[in-house]
């Protein structure tokens, strides 16, 4: 599960732009074409971003977010060397996180 | 379940609201891994979605929200969107696809340090209206776009 998150941070003045790509099927609930059985959805429910240990953004996702979701957001007050952590948790209890410096 | 206004609740308990209680009020606080807003994601119509998320569906259209999506999406499974706004005191940006099986696609909760800006990609079942919902100083504002979808992206 490690390495499911790729991220790039760009600093301009004190604004940090975070672009992240998460490897995840983000699959919707569907029926098996052969057996008709329901295949449960498998999708990220939450992505959390912290800056120097403090949460800046919390994104609640549903099944409509695309496979291998790309997410971009920004926060203020960033300086070179600051710690950013990106983490996700899905509906099956799986999770991963990435620590990256500005 | 009683839908209580999260802000009033948080003020009343002087910031010591439990995650569970705040989660019951709709959008949980941005801290840690809060409760996923299950009701909001299960709602079948825009009105119920907003009520589950914010305790109200009362919203005003605003051109202070810049909402960008392609006019025509060839591939309904990866349709990009970008939402940003000059509205003040924004703590939430959400995007709803009104004719998807469940309208709520995603809902971001921002702490004051976050810039009110969000970009990602969605699966769209068919041509439909997309609604960006911004909460600014406790009030809801929206901007609507119509996206034509050539090949639906919800599978199933």
**Which tens digit of pLDDT belongs to each residue from B102-143?**
999 999 999 999 999 999 999 999 999 999 999 999 999 999
Q: Which residues contact A14 (CB under 8 A, 6 or more apart)?
A: A76, A77, A78, A79
Inter-chain residue contact B115 with A58, CB threshold 8 Å: no
Tokens read off for B128: 């439909």
Average pLDDT, chain B: 85
Parent domain of A91: 5-97
Tokens read off for B35: 């409760």
Q: Which residues contact B94 (CB under 8 A, 6 or more apart)?
A: B53, B104, B106, B107, B108, B132, B133
Q: Report ipTM for this prediction.
A: 0.94
How large is the average pLDDT for residues B53-82? 97
Tell whether the model's pLDDT for residue A1 goes beyond 70: no
Q: What is the pLDDT of residue B15?
A: 43
* B7, β-bridge pairs: none
Inter-chain residue contact A67 with B77, CB threshold 8 Å: yes
Inter-chain residue contact B156 with A51, CB threshold 8 Å: no
Q: What is the pLDDT of residue B17?
A: 42
Domains of chain B: 58-152 (2.60.40.2470)
What's CA A16's distance to the chain center, in Å?
16
Inter-chain residue contact A72 with B119, CB threshold 8 Å: yes
Residue of A64, A86, A91 to mutate, testing the B interface (most B Cβ within 10 Å of its Cβ): A64
In a domain, A73, yes or no: yes
Neighbours of A81 (CB within 10 A): 9
Q: Tell whether B114 is within 8 A of chain A (Cβ).
A: yes
Q: Would you place residue B152 in the very low, low, confident or very high pLDDT band (cuts 50, 70, 90)?
A: confident
Q: Tell whether A37 is within 8 A of chain B (Cβ).
A: no
C-alpha–C-alpha distance, residues B145 and A20, integer Å: 25
Q: Which residues contact B32 (CB under 8 A, 6 or more apart)?
A: A48, A55, B19
Q: What is the pLDDT of residue B22?
A: 42
Tell whether the model's pLDDT for residue B12 goes beyond 70: no
Question: Which has the closest alpha carbon to B151: B98, B97, B75?
Answer: B75
Structural domain count, chain A: 1
Judge whether B150 and B73 are in contact, CB under 8 Å.
yes
Tokens read off for B135: 């909460």
Tell whether the model's pLDDT for residue A27 goes beyond 50: yes
Inter-chain residue contact B33 with A48, CB threshold 8 Å: yes
CATH number at residue A79: 2.60.40.10
DSSP helix/strand/coil, B53: helix
In a domain, A60, yes or no: yes
How large is the average pLDDT for residues B47-61? 97
Tokens read off for A28: 């919707």
**Eight-state DSSP code of residue A48:** E
Q: Would you place residue A45 in the very low, low, confident or very high pLDDT band (cuts 50, 70, 90)?
A: very high
In a domain, A70, yes or no: yes
C-alpha–C-alpha distance, residues A76 and A60, integer Å: 21
Q: What is the pLDDT of residue A22?
A: 98
Q: Would you place residue B35 in the very low, low, confident or very high pLDDT band (cuts 50, 70, 90)?
A: confident
In a domain, A12, yes or no: yes
Q: Would you place residue B151 in the very low, low, confident or very high pLDDT band (cuts 50, 70, 90)?
A: confident
In a domain, A102, yes or no: no
């Amino acid at each position: 599960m490690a390495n499911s998150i790729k991220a790039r941070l760009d600093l301009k003045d004190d604004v940090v732009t975070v672009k992240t790509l998460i490897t995840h099927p983000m699959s919707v609930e569907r029926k098996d074409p052969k057996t008709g059985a329901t295949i449960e959805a498998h999708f990220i429910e939450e992505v959390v971003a912290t800056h120097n240990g403090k949460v800046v953004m919390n994104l609640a996702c549903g099944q409509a977010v695309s496979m291998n979701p790309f997410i971009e957001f920004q926060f203020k007050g960033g300086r070179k060397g600051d710690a950013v952590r990106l983490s996700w948790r899905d509906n099956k209890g799986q999770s991963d996180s990435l620590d990256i410096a500005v | 379940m009683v839908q209580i206004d999260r802000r009033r609740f948080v003020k009343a308990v002087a910031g010591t609201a439990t995650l569970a209680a705040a989660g019951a009020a709709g959008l949980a606080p941005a801290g840690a891994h809060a409760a996923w807003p299950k009701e909001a994601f299960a709602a079948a119509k825009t009105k119920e979605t907003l009520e589950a998320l914010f305790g109200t569906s009362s919203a005003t259209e605003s051109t202070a929200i810049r909402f960008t999506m392609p006019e025509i999406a060839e591939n309904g499974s990866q349709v990009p969107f970008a939402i940003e706004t000059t509205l003040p005191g924004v703590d939430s940006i959400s995007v709803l696809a009104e004719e998807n099986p469940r309208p709520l696609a995603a809902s971001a909760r921002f702490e004051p340090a976050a810039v009110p800006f969000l970009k990602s990609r969605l699966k769209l079942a068919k041509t439909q209206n997309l609604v960006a919902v911004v909460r600014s100083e406790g009030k809801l504002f929206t901007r609507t776009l119509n996206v034509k979808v050539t090949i639906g992206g919800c599978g199933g």
